[in-house]
């Protein structure tokens, strides 16, 4: 394995809670989480049920999907990603640009996986639903790919196979450019209590400034983490921050938006073992690594950001690995998921250059007026 030097940017964005009207349908996401994203998805029987439900949800909004199978090199197990494409007018040509929205759907053995990563899957499905509806009214310039990865918990095998088997060959064959990939990995857990947020072992030695700022915030789990590389992913981070900021402002005049951006540089060559790398989880060891480190990384860099609530580093999940169940679907957590999904929708509208960008604020106003009347 060859390591390269990759400077990383970590952005922590902290909101306060209120009751918003959103383009994301909270009830629909609650349905998805409770019906097929709250049961373990670690063996093939369990995962096949989830895949079928994901494919049905995509089909319901007019999106056909494909199953991308691959072999996990260490165990020889067969894995399966689900991929759907909303084609732009230049699809398959050098004039096309891809925006990738992704989440893994597998879980740790025995875990119901509501937050990790049912919440990411629910958010990506809801974004696909909204963008499909908008497509009937507003033209869009760029292609959107929705990818649901298998085997994140087995050395990121699904996302690695997607990048190597599908994405890089497509880019090479058609000269298509990827303008952004988003990895959604835990978007549900909001815990605004002091000492609810932990840090990985050795995190302070890797990121002393981030550790200090978390300390100044009383170690509250009231933020969304954005991980990225300095330079390569800078425009993508700014685009998501704009979307998140605007969503927060539009959802409620009382919803104060407090972003705090931590610019961190890390020399990957200093990490000499996978164990050392794992200690940075979830800041690096997730599906975004497949987009950072690939067979053509010296020539092709794929702008990528990783969104997470930090998973088992927050709240009760620090102490209870099996607590990632329906218990997580509190009203406060669902509001947090709605905000994150709403931000992803606005982000996709901007990045795909949908004509809906010109009317999206009017859509918010209509939703808010509807809420006031009802």
Model pLDDT for residues 108-146, shown as the tens digit of each residue: 998 999 999 999 999 999 999 999 999 999 999 999 999
Contacts of 36 by beta carbon, 8 Å cutoff, 6+ apart: 49, 50, 53
Mean pLDDT for 183-200 is 90
Mean pLDDT for 147-160 is 96
Report d(CA 188, CA 347) in Å as an integer: 18
pLDDT band at 178 (very low <50, low <70, confident <90, very high): very high
* Mean pLDDT score of the chain: 85
pTM above 0.85, yes or no: yes
On the 0-12 / 13-18 / 19+ scale of CB atoms within 10 A, 300 is middle
What pLDDT shows up at residue 210? 79
pLDDT of 32 strictly over 90:
yes
CATH superfamily assigned to domain 8-373: Zn peptidases (3.40.630.10)
pLDDT of 252 strictly over 80:
no
Report d(CA 157, CA 193) in Å as an integer: 35
What pLDDT shows up at residue 13? 55
Q: Quick check: helix, strand or coil at residue 239?
A: helix
Question: If we measure between CA atoms, which residue out of 226, 188, 210, 205 comes closest to residue 317?
Answer: 188
Residue 229 has φ and ψ, to the nearest 5°, of: -95, 140
For tokens 């218990």, name the residue: 327
Sequence ranges of the domains in the chain = 8-373
Question: If we measure between CA atoms, which residue out of 280, 292, 290 comes closest to residue 233?
Answer: 292
Report d(CA 72, CA 232) in Å as an integer: 29
Residue 193 is classified by DSSP as S
pLDDT band at 6 (very low <50, low <70, confident <90, very high): very low
Report d(CA 115, CA 33) in Å as an integer: 9
The per-residue pLDDT for range 43-73, each reduced to its tens digit, is 999 999 999 999 999 999 999 999 999 999 8
Residue 34 has φ and ψ, to the nearest 5°, of: -80, -30
Q: Do 124 and 48 touch, CB atoms closer than 8 A?
A: no
pLDDT band at 5 (very low <50, low <70, confident <90, very high): very low
């Amino acid at each position: 394995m060859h390591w390269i030097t990759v400077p990383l940017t970590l952005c922590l964005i902290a909101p306060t809670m209120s009751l918003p009207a959103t383009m994301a349908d909270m009830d629909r996401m609650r349905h998805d989480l409770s019906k097929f994203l709250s049961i373990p998805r670690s063996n093939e029987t369990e995962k096949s049920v989830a895949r079928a439900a994901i494919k049905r949800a995509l089909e319901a909004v007019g999106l056909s999907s494909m199953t991308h199978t691959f072999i996990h090199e260490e165990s020889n197990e067969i894995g399966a990603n689900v991929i759907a494409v909303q084609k732009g007018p230049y699809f398959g040509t050098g004039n096309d640009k891809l925006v990738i929205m992704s989440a893994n759907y597998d879980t740790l053995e025995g875990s119901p996986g509501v937050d990790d990563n049912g919440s990411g899957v629910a958010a990506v499905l809801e974004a696909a639903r909204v963008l499909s509806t908008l497509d009937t009214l507003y033209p869009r310039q760029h292609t959107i790919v929705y990818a649901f990865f298998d085997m994140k918990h087995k050395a990121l095998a699904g996302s690695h196979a997607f990048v190597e088997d599908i994405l890089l060959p497509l880019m090479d064959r058609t000269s298509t450019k990827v303008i952004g990939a988003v990895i959604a990995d835990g978007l549900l857990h909001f815990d605004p209590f002091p000492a609810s947020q932990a840090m990985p072992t050795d995190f302070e030695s890797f990121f002393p400034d981030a550790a200090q700022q978390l300390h100044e915030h009383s170690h509250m789990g009231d933020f969304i983490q954005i991980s990225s590389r300095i330079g390569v992913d800078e425009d993508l981070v700014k685009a998501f921050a704009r979307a998140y900021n605007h969503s927060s402002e539009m959802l409620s005049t009382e919803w104060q938006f407090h972003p705090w951006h931590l610019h961190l540089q890390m020399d990957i060559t200093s990490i000499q073992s996978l164990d050392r790398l794992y200690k940075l989880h979830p800041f690096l060891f997730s599906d975004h690594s497949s987009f950072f480190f690939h067979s053509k990384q010296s020539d092709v860099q794929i702008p990528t950001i990783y969104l997470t609530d930090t998973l088992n580093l927050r709240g009760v999940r620090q102490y209870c690995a099996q607590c990632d169940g329906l218990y997580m679907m509190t009203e406060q957590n669902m509001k947090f998921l709605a905000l994150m999904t709403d931000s992803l929708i606005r982000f996709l509208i901007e990045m795909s250059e949908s004509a809906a960008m010109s009317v999206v604020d009017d859509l918010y106003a209509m939703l808010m007026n509807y809420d006031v009347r009802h």
